[in-house]
Amino acid sequence: MSGVKIYPEVLSRRKLLKHGLFSGLTVSLAPSLFLGGCGTKEGQEDNTNVIFISIDTLRADHLGCYGYERNTSFNIDSFAQQNILFKNCFIHEPCTAPSHMSMFTGLYPVTHGVNRFSVLDESITTLAEVLKSEGYRTLGFVRQCGQLCPEFGFARGFDVYIEKNHRDFIAELQNKLMAKYLKKNKDEKLFVFIHYYDVHSDFGRLPYDSPPPYDRMYYPDYAGNFSGGNGEIFASEYLVHLNKNKVSLKDDDLRYITSMYDGSVTYTDKYLGELFEILKELELYDKSLIIVTSDHGEEFQEHGWMLHGNPYFYEELVHVPLIIKLPWATTGGKIIENLVESIDFMPTILGTLGIKNVPKMQGENFMRIIESPDAKWKYSVFGYSVAEGPRAFLRNRRWKLVADNIYKENNFKVFDLSNDPAEEFDIMGNPQDVTDELKRELLGRYVKVERHGSLEKVQATPEQLEILKSLGYVE
């Protein structure tokens, strides 16, 4: 199994989890809300699996179930039609490490403090640690990308955490490996984290390079001369070069690159469908809580940038898909309009399972809005960069405030999303009362959110630095 790293759980303070002790940071969640009203088989909740699937860099609006004109996502669309689609799900920072850690801790990035080179503090408890303490067999399958490293805390709580070389771990091969582990452990109560990376910009010749026929599926007649780079740098590094030098691509080339991205989406969608079939064959599908989401989106020069490093957190970067299948449930294509955040994932999972002894979290259990869309719920979502701040955004159903530097008065923009969903027209100050209120709320939340005071830095290995450089994350 060349290139595979398996990290058994490291026990230290984690022994305390078996006794429900979380350094005093415990709250009580209400019992599972889904058990009485969404078709659950009585008595089955004790045998519920959790399958958490994150498709890296998948923007919501390039899926058919979110309105995309291309048929990129047959299996995801079918999954959405049968289950629950959240129309307005947002992440807090468009970067793989902090975004995923928010999913796994229920905390804002500025609170958990994890970026590309920071370790999760021992005082913070992860989703995998909680579920392991509840008797789950915990398995993680990650494509190596230099960010979901065990050294940063991502392997904590996992019985097995497999991080395989990103050059070899395409979705097809990833499924084959996962199938072996799922078959071996199918009689256990499982928590499985799956990280597909095939949609992410590539490190080789082309920026998005899926196997044939997906590579040319959506633009077979392209006649341009885009070769992936400039003769010296290619793929993700070349896209970073475009950003730095503010180079606008020709319409035909941009369409070609976007088509390659869409081909990668369709490739991944095929093997997500295969994964669902594997789960059904092993009789794991029906009794599993299945989450399909992403850590961030991707930009194709809608606002002048490629990739996901734009200092302004536009919708194409922070709006992600979220589709959930409840265990033993028949929900029939329910659509939730309410705004939810990735910090809500962990409290929702634990609440759905009926786990009451949980760590401190900043997210909320959104099962109540599945039961009743009119239930009291948050009206806005918030994000703040911890790695490259002080960038932030605040969004409600109509208005959105973004800032690439919250300390500078002229670095804010406001958009009326009901009339300008593409965020083309900055209306900062018009109307003044709206923009003033948005700024007060954003800055108020920024001040109130607990900050992590003591981050342990780790020295990246040469291999990790090379991966991050090839993918455009570091110079």
Q: What average pLDDT does the structure give for the chain?
A: 86
* Least confident segment among 52-56, 141-145, 402-406: 141-145
Beta bridge pairs of residue 52:
193, 291
Q: Domain residues of the chain, as ranges?
A: 4-379
Q: Following CA atoms 16, 20, 21, 26 in sequence, which dihedral angle do they give, to the nearest 10 degrees?
A: 150
Q: In angstroms, rounded to a whole number, what is the distance separating the alpha carbons of residues 430 and 443?
A: 19
| HSE-up (13 A, CA, CB side) for residue 109 | 28
Any residues with CB less than 8 A from the CB of 272 and at least 6 apart, and which?
Answer: 53, 55, 75, 76, 79, 171, 196, 292
Q: In angstroms, rounded to a whole number, what is the distance separating the alpha carbons of residues 41 and 26?
A: 30
- Contact call for residues 284 and 182 (beta carbons, < 8 A): yes
**pLDDT tens digits for range 150-206:** 989 999 999 999 998 766 789 999 999 999 999 999 999 999 999 999 999 988 899
Secondary element (H or E) of residue 444: helix 432-448
Beta bridge pairs of residue 340:
89
pLDDT band per the 50, 70, 90 thresholds, residue 16: very low
- Tell the residue number behind the tokens 């700024």, with chain if given: 439
pLDDT at 459 over 50: no
pLDDT number for residue 374: 83
pLDDT number for residue 197: 95
pLDDT number for residue 7: 37
Beta bridge pairs of residue 394:
382, 401
Q: Following CA atoms 176, 217, 59, 99 in sequence, which dihedral angle do they give, to the nearest 10 degrees?
A: 40
- Contact call for residues 338 and 369 (beta carbons, < 8 A): yes
**pLDDT tens digits for range 255-299:** 999 999 999 999 999 999 999 999 999 999 999 999 999 999 999
What does 206-244 look like in DSSP terms, one character per residue?
A: SSS-PPTTGGGTT-TT--S---SBSSS-BHHHHHHHHHH
The torsion region of residue 185 among left (phi > 0), alpha (psi -120 to 50) and beta comes to alpha
Q: Following CA atoms 235, 241, 246, 251 in sequence, which dihedral angle do they give, to the nearest 10 degrees?
A: -20
pLDDT number for residue 332: 79
Residue type, 376: K
Choice between 23 and 215, residue whose per-residue pLDDT is larger? 215
* CATH superfamily placement of domain 4-379: Alkaline Phosphatase, subunit A (3.40.720.10)
Of 273, 277, 293, 122, nearest to 194 (Cα)?
A: 293
pLDDT at 15 over 60: no
Q: In angstroms, rounded to a whole number, what is the distance separating the alpha carbons of residues 279 and 290?
A: 11
Most confident of 20-29, 41-50, 310-319, 439-448: 310-319
- Give the pairing of strands 84-90 and 4-6: unpaired
Choice between 344 and 464, residue whose per-residue pLDDT is larger? 344
pLDDT at 17 over 90: no
Average pLDDT over residues 420-430: 95
Q: In angstroms, rounded to a whole number, what is the distance separating the alpha carbons of residues 173 and 4?
A: 12
Any residues with CB less than 8 A from the CB of 327 and at least 6 apart, and which?
Answer: 40, 44, 45, 48, 49, 286, 287, 288, 289, 352
Residue type, 308: H
pLDDT number for residue 330: 67
**pLDDT tens digits for range 41-77:** 444 456 899 999 999 999 999 999 999 999 999 999 9
pLDDT number for residue 447: 78
pLDDT band per the 50, 70, 90 thresholds, residue 33: very low
Q: In angstroms, rounded to a whole number, what is the distance separating the alpha carbons of residues 206 and 227?
A: 7
Any residues with CB less than 8 A from the CB of 339 and at least 6 apart, and which?
Answer: 88, 89, 90, 378, 379, 380, 381, 395, 396, 397
pLDDT number for residue 454: 43
The whole-model pTM stands at: 0.87
What does 110-156 look like in DSSP terms, one character per residue?
A: HHH---TTEEPPTTSPPHHHHHHHTT-EEEEEEE--SSS-GGGTTTT
The two tokens of residue 95 are 């970067």
Q: Calculate the CA 120 to chain-centre distance.
A: 18
Report in angstroms the alpha-carbon separations of 106 from 28, 192, 332, 350, 428: 14, 18, 28, 11, 32
| HSE-up (13 A, CA, CB side) for residue 95 | 28
Average pLDDT over residues 13-19: 30
Positive or negative, the CA dihedral 161, 162, 165, 168 is negative
